[in-house]
Amino acid sequence: MPTFRAPRGTRDLLPDERAGFDRLIRIASSLTQRYGYRPIETPLFEQTAVFERGIGEVTDVVEKELFRIAPRTEESESWALRPEPTAGIVRAYVQPGMQTLPQPVKLTTIGPMFRYDRPQAGRYRQFWQFDVEAIGDPGPAVDAEIVELGHRFYVEAGVEGVEVLVNSIGDGVCRPAYLASLVDYYRTHVDALPPTERERLERNALRLLDSKDPVMTGLNADAPRITDHLCEPCAAHFESAKAHLEALGVPFRVEPGLVRGLDYYTRTAFEFYVAGREGQQQALGGGGRYDGLVELLGGKPTPGIGFGLGLDRVALVLAEQGHPPAAVDGPLAVVAGADPDDTVERLRVATDLRAAGLRVRADLGRRKLGRQLEAAGKDGAHFAVILGDELADGHVQLRDLLAGTQRVVALADLARDLARAEQHHKHG
Ligand code: AMP
């Protein structure tokens, strides 16, 4: 047993898996550029109040899962690691005056999030999210645009059968009356409620709808539906968002029980699932509209909408669907030498080739040429550059390890020859 292990609920992304993440990050960046989102980076930790206020105190994320940083005695502020990026991004939107930029401000970020959750398959204490936020657009067209962007991310990543569940959870006008009818409903079943749900009933009844407790599944099926209680503007917004989604050909289904775990959502809420795996733990990603959040964090009243897609779960589903993580590319060439001790020349030639932009490994082991070439083959290298007697008059042997051919090349032409061969190999 090793002495130290990664903290419970975290894991190392070893090179193949990390390369798989890089691929997802490249797809996400390419998409967000096409859709006009600009990258933003906010701190991994914030004042705890940003999350308490921005996410809501009566939520699992804040009540149970927040990674709080113990304040040092000489500092009075209380911080927490970010459990999701929206609250921090909206805090940044308000703070340096992004409110005066042309609206909407469309932002994207990718990085680790932290939740002190009970670890299990697909549920970690540190996980990655790809996130977009469009702040300053009341929708409903942008709601569909964002859902379509999320769906396209899964399609381009190669995840099969992704389906979108959508709902409207109303706004400050219609939700209070709906909440009252929800509270009435649960009160008639109060004896059946688990203790946490009973306690939450008075504080935030909406949370009961998205409870993970199995006892609640049956109760929730018969609960009043928000979509039957929407005010006229919310209903019109929802109808229009759905019409836009239909026009874009995004496969979606209305799920009246979908309320999302976070307090700040209004109107459109959505989650992405692999069809047939709609269990609580299986959401690949989700998002929604948060028209009250900017004001809640001290800005002018400003509508907004966004999503967070979990990359760890995408990687898991891709593996389940039979797609191996992306392999890390081997070097284009390995520089080997007939004189096992002459590591200076091998490293010098490799350094020049790298400076010319090529992917090159120098064999720095003091071993026989045959062993160096064997290792180059195992590395997946296309070429071996062999330094021998010809080096004295500025030449090397260039062996094509794939074709099994070899020729003499002037050192001065080597970088150009290799670059050409790489182009040829890529397109041939
Ligand atoms: P949420 O804000 O809880 O809706 O999370 C958005 C997405 O982030 C989820 O759909 C998951 O893909 C991912 N996610 C949330 N929590 C975790 C976690 N503990 N471990 C891994 N992925 C997570």
For a ligand 1 pocket test, name from 51, 123, 293, 311 the mutation site with the most ligand atoms within 8 angstroms of its C-beta: 123
CB of 381 closer than 8 Å to CB of 334: yes
First to last CA, the chain: 48
- β-sheet bridge partners, residue 113: 127
Ligand 1 near 136 CB (within 6 A): no
Position 278 confidence tier, pLDDT thresholds 50, 70, 90: low
- Report the distance separating Cα 101 and Cα 88, nearest Å: 18
Strand order in the sheet with 126-135: 38-39, 105-114, 126-135, 304-310, 285-289, 266-274, 162-168, 252-254
- Report pLDDT for 335: 97
Ligand 1 near 131 CB (within 6 A): no
Burial track 114-143 (b if 16+ CB lie within 10 A, e otherwise): bbbbeeeebebbbbbbbbbbbbbbbbbebb
Higher-pLDDT residue of 328, 188? 188
DSSP one-letter string for 284-295: -EEEEE-TTHHH
Residue 210 pLDDT exceeds 80 = no
**H/E stretch holding 426:** helix 411-427
Residue 428 pLDDT exceeds 70 = no
Residue 330 pLDDT exceeds 90 = no
Ligand 1, atom 3: nearest CA belongs to which residue? 261
| 416-428 average pLDDT score | 82
For a ligand 1 pocket test, name from 63, 84, 116, 293 the mutation site with the most ligand atoms within 8 angstroms of its C-beta: 84
Contacts 24+ apart (CB under 8 A), 317-325: 317/159, 317/274, 317/284, 318/20, 318/157, 318/158, 318/159, 321/158, 321/159, 321/160, 323/158, 324/16, 325/16, 325/17, 325/19, 325/20
| 218-222 average pLDDT score | 86
Residue 203 pLDDT exceeds 90 = no
Please give the mean pLDDT across all residues of the chain: 91
Higher-pLDDT residue of 261, 411? 411
For residue 394, give the nearest of 349, 335, 344 by alpha carbon: 349
Q: What is the pLDDT of residues 35-54, one digit of tens each?
A: 999 999 999 999 999 998 87
Position 57 confidence tier, pLDDT thresholds 50, 70, 90: confident
Residue 259 pLDDT exceeds 90 = no
Position 28 confidence tier, pLDDT thresholds 50, 70, 90: very high
Q: What is the pLDDT of residues 73-128, one digit of tens each?
A: 776 788 999 999 999 999 999 998 798 999 999 999 999 999 998 888 889 999 99
Q: What is the pLDDT of residues 281-298, one digit of tens each?
A: 679 999 999 999 999 999
Residue positions counted in the chain: 428
- Report pLDDT for 72: 75
Lowest mean pLDDT among 233-247, 377-391, 414-428: 414-428
Ligand 1 near 115 CB (within 6 A): yes
Higher-pLDDT residue of 156, 58? 156
| 223-241 average pLDDT score | 95
Predicted TM-score (pTM) of the model is 0.90
- Report pLDDT for 191: 87
For residue 289, give the nearest of 268, 312, 275 by alpha carbon: 268
